[in-house]
């Protein structure tokens, strides 16, 4: 992917929010229905529990409303809504349109399906819209994977879950927060992780693991190179919350310690498009990100997609001052 041209209008995240269904399924619950155990699941995935229930629209409205309220923007000022999801509530129309209506927005709205890489795809697109003149964009990542999971298959039932998280992007005077980005896909590998329309998730776990580590490292390296930074400068990595072993192997190859990682998969499971923004929101709420910190978002998903972005939290101007949000 190309480097960001100089003098492009940038953006910063000014609000965020998350939503998880109330119902929780623990590993011990799964022990009662499939051939597995709590220790086996934790050892192989790092997951202790997952949230299930609700609709893609309902969870998106909840997280989107929280992000809008935190940002303090006028609803009428939102120029676009981008919803990353692999599980729209209907084939047509896009779930984003229904979310737009329920949030009381008057703007363009569309879905993006890049599987677990979807939120970063949507975030990069939102920055592109701001570079072209938009001032405020709501980006949401939501998936309700429980309804397309085979709960008798221990290879997938232990992983997938439901959730949503959202951010508000606002245009600023200056470069903003996005320093480098990468989007990728390899459709030749789609057979290793897919779901037909009306069907359930099919996954070749060993093949996905083998490819996931390689493409996450490759994408993250490209984004860091575009940003002109090295791995040791990164303050926080926000990876796709798929599997603790994939995360550990990827960070080892990047030369980054696990202490710099935002993790929520132990209590959320793999929420696909919601995975990265849920982990980011949790890190922000926990005070793990300071102004000026370099944050690396990186994920992979069915397709086999990959996506990453380097953000300097809070953004910068040419003289290093705080960028002013445009009205």
Residues classed as catalytic: 116, 240, 270
Compute CA distances 16 → 31, 88, 113, whole Å.
35, 21, 21
Q: How far is CA 230 from the centre of its chain?
A: 22
Q: Is 142 helix (H, G, I), strand (E, B) or coil?
A: strand
Dihedral pair phi/psi, residue 287, rounded to 5°: 75, 25
45/268 Cα distance (integer angstroms): 12
Q: What is the CA radius of gyration of the chain?
A: 19
Burial 250-266 (b: 16+ CB within 10 A, else e): bbebbebeeebbbbbbe
109/100 Cα distance (integer angstroms): 7
Residue pair 92/142 in contact by the 8 Å Cβ criterion: no
214 Cβ partners below 8 Å, 6+ apart?
Answer: none
CA angle 15, 19, 24 (to 5 degrees): 155
Taking 3-state DSSP, the helix, strand and coil percentages for the chain, each rounded to the nearest 5, stand at 40, 30, 35
Which helix (H) or strand (E) is 321 found in, with range? none
293/258 Cα distance (integer angstroms): 17
């Amino acid at each position: 992917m190309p480097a960001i041209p100089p003098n492009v209008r940038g953006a910063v995240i000014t609000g965020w929010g998350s939503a998880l269904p109330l119902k929780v399924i623990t590993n011990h619950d799964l022990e009662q229905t499939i051939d597995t155990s709590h220790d086996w699941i934790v050892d192989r995935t790092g997951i202790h529990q997952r949230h299930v229930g609700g609709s893609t629209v309902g969870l998106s409205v909840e997280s989107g409303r929280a992000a809008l309220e935190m940002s303090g923007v006028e609803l009428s000022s939102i120029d676009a809504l981008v919803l990353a999801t692999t599980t729209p509530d209907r084939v047509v129309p896009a779930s984003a349109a229904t979310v737009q209506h329920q949030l009381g927005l008057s703007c363009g709205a569309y879905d993006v399906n890049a599987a677990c890489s979807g939120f970063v795809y949507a975030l990069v697109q939102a920055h592109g819209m701001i570079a072209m003149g938009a001032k405020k964009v709501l980006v949401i990542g939501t998936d309700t994977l429980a309804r397309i999971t085979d709960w008798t298959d221990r290879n997938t039932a232990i992983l997938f879950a439901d959730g949503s998280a959202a951010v508000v992007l606002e245009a600023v005077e200056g470069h903003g927060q996005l320093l480098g980005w990468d989007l990728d896909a390899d459709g030749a590998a789609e057979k290793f992780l897919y779901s037909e329309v009306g069907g359930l998730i099919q996954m070749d776990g060993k093949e996905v693991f083998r490819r996931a580590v390689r493409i996450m490292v490759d994408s993250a390296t490209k984004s860091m190179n575009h940003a002109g930074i090295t791995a040791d400068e990164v303050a926080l990595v926000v990876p796709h919350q798929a599997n603790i072993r994939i995360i550990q192997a990827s960070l080892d190859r990047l030369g980054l310690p696990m202490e710099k990682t935002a993790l929520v998969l132990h209590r959320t499971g793999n929420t696909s498009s919601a995975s990265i923004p849920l982990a980011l929101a949790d890190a922000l709420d926990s005070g793990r990100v300071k102004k000026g910190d370099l944050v690396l978002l990186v994920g992979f998903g069915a397709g086999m997609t990959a996506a990453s972005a380097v953000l300097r939290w809070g953004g910068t101007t040419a003289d290093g001052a705080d960028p002013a949000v445009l009205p």
